[in-house]
Amino acid sequence: MIRRRFHLVNVFADAPLSGSALCVFEDGSGLSEEEMQGLALQFNPSETTFLFPSKIASAKVRIFTPTFEMPFAGHPTLGSAHVVFAHLVSAHPVSPHSGSSPGERGVTLSPASSG
């Protein structure tokens, strides 16, 4: 069994254990589509995302519900951007990029303005 780092995130939450639950895997590299779908079903939040390296963004994001892969969704993209910003890269706000195939989206972070 390969170990994978993941984060359980509450998107649009103003208190713990509220908002829209999301599971974000830091690195989906090496996982098959069937394995990603199985993990999404096992964790069973509304959506589970998997982050991948990207040449055009800070990360590429694939989004799965417990039963299918989604081409795009708002709260999984924002929650994934939070994980990228908080845990994977230094300071960088969110700009989604279309991926090279359906179901792949990238997230680029850039420094927030101080004004």
pLDDT surpassing 90 at residue 112: no
Judge whether 79 lies within some domain.
yes
Q: Is 34 a catalytic residue?
A: no
Report yes or no on 101 lying in a domain.
yes
User: Could you report the per-residue pLDDT of 57-93, keeping only the tens digit for each?
Assistant: 788 899 999 999 998 898 999 999 889 888 877 544 4
Q: Is residue 76 part of a domain?
A: yes
**Does 100 score more than 60 pLDDT?**
no
Asked whether residue 114 is assigned to any structural domain, the reply reads: no
Inside any domain, residue 1 = no
Among candidate residues 26, 35, 47, 69, the one labeled active-site is 47
Give the model's pLDDT for residue 91: 44
What pLDDT, on the 0 to 100 scale, is given for residue 63?
Answer: 95
Question: Is residue 45 a part of any domain in this protein?
Answer: yes
Residue 79 domain boundaries: 6-108
The full length of the chain comes to 115
How does pLDDT run across 7-59, given as a tens digit for each residue? 999 999 988 888 999 999 999 999 999 999 999 999 999 999 999 988 777 88
Q: What is the Cα–Cα distance from 94 to 64, expressed in whole angstroms? A: 20
Question: Into how many domains does the chain fold?
Answer: 1
Domain harbouring 79, CATH code? 3.10.310.10
Is residue 77 one of the residues assigned to a domain? Answer: yes
Domain-embedded: residue 113? no
> What does DSSP say about strands 95-98 and 47-52: parallel, antiparallel, or unpaired?
unpaired
Distance (Å, whole) CA 22 – CA 49:
8
